[in-house]
Amino acid sequence: MVRENALSIDDLIWPLFLVEGKGVTQPVESMPGVERYSVDKAVAAAERAATLGIPAIALFPYTDPALRDETGSEALNPENLVCTACRAIKARVPEIGLITDVALDPYTSHGHDGLMMGDEIVNDETIAVLTSQSLIQAEAGADIIAPSDMMDGRVGAIRRALDAAGHANTQIMAYSAKYASAFYGPFRDAIGTSATLKGDKRTYQMDPGNTDEALREAELDLAEGADMVMVKPGLPYLDIIWRIRDTFQVPTFAYQVSGEYAMIQAAAGNGWIDGDRAMLESLLAFKRAGANGILTYFAPRVAEQLGG
Ligand code: PBG
Tens-digit pLDDT profile for residues 8-30: 999 999 999 999 999 999 999 99
Query: If you measure from the C-alpha of residue 99 to the centroid of ligand 1, how many angstroms do you get, rounded to a whole number?
Result: 14
3-state helix, strand, coil in the chain (%, to 5): 45, 20, 35
Q: What is the DSSP code (8-state) at residue 9?
A: G
Q: How far apart are CA 236 and CA 238, in angstroms?
A: 6
Q: How far apart are CA 292 and CA 162, in angstroms?
A: 25
Distance of CA 153 to the CA centre of its chain: 19
Q: Give the burial string for 196-231 (b: 16+ CB within 10 Å, else e).
A: eeeeebeebbbeeeeeeebbebbebbbebbbbbbbb
Tell me, using a 6 A CB cutoff, whether residue 201 lines ligand 1.
yes
Q: Choose, from 90, 201, 232, 287, the residue flagged as catalytic.
A: 232
Is 22 a residue of the active site? no
* Residue 47, pLDDT score: 98
Tell me, using a 6 A CB cutoff, whether residue 306 lines ligand 1.
no
Q: pLDDT per residue over 74-85, tens digit each?
A: 999 999 999 999
Contact 137, 219 (CB under 8 A): no
Confidence of residue 308 (pLDDT cuts 50, 70, 90): low
Q: How far apart are CA 18 and CA 37, in angstroms?
A: 5
With a cut of 70, say whether residue 59 has pLDDT above it. yes
- Say which residues have a Cβ less than 8 Å from residue 70's Cβ, sequence separation at least 6: 108, 109, 110, 116
Tell me, using a 6 A CB cutoff, whether residue 187 lines ligand 1.
yes
Tell me, using a 6 A CB cutoff, whether residue 148 lines ligand 1.
yes
Tell me, using a 6 A CB cutoff, whether residue 189 lines ligand 1.
no
Tell me, using a 6 A CB cutoff, whether residue 112 lines ligand 1.
no
Is 232 a residue of the active site? yes
Q: Which numeric CATH code is attached to 9-307?
A: 3.20.20.70
Query: If you measure from the C-alpha of residue 28 to the centroid of ligand 1, how many angstroms do you get, rounded to a whole number?
Result: 15
- Nearest protein Cα to ligand 1, atom 8: 184
Confidence of residue 46 (pLDDT cuts 50, 70, 90): very high
- Nearest protein Cα to ligand 1, atom 7: 184
In DSSP terms, 144 is beta-bridged to 99, 171
How many C-beta atoms surround the C-beta of residue 158 within 10 A? 28
With a cut of 90, say whether residue 198 has pLDDT above it. no
Q: How far apart are CA 292 and CA 40, in angstroms?
A: 30
Query: If you measure from the C-alpha of residue 184 to the centroid of ligand 1, how many angstroms do you get, rounded to a whole number?
Result: 6
pTM: 0.96
